[in-house]
C-alpha cells in the first residue's frame, strides 16, 4: 500500500497523518503505524485477501462473543 492510500484510510477514521511507518514484523498482512498531527498513533492493517478470501468474516468473527 502506498503512503497516499494509508493517508486516505487514516483520514477515513478522522486522522490527519503527520507520519507513516511500515511495520515489517507481520507474516501475512501489511501493517502501518501512523502518527497524527496531534501526536495520536493508530495502527492500520491491510488484510491479505489472497490468504483471507473473505475479509468481512474476520470482522464478523471478531464481533461474535466467545
Give the pLDDT confidence of 6-63 residue by residue, as tens digits.
889 888 888 888 899 988 776 788 899 999 888 889 888 888 899 889 988 888 887 8
Number of domains in the chain: 1
Q: Which domain holds residue 38?
A: 3-63
Q: Which helix (H) or strand (E) covers residue 19, if one does?
A: strand 17-23
Cell of 1: 500500500
Whether this model's pTM surpasses 0.75: no
Phi, psi at residue 57, to the nearest 5°? -70, -25
Alpha carbon of 30 to those of 3, 18, 58, 64, 66: distances in Å? Answer: 12, 19, 16, 24, 27
Amino acid at each position: 500500500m502506498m503512503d497516499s492510500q494509508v493517508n486516505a484510510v487514516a483520514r477515513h477514521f478522522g486522522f490527519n497523518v503527520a507520519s507513516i511507518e511500515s511495520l515489517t514484523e507481520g507474516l501475512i498482512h501489511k501493517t502501518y503505524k501512523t502518527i497524527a498531527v496531534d501526536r495520536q498513533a493508530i495502527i492500520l492493517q491491510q488484510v491479505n485477501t489472497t490468504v483471507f478470501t473473505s475479509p468481512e468474516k474476520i470482522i464478523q468473527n471478531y464481533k461474535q462473543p466467545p
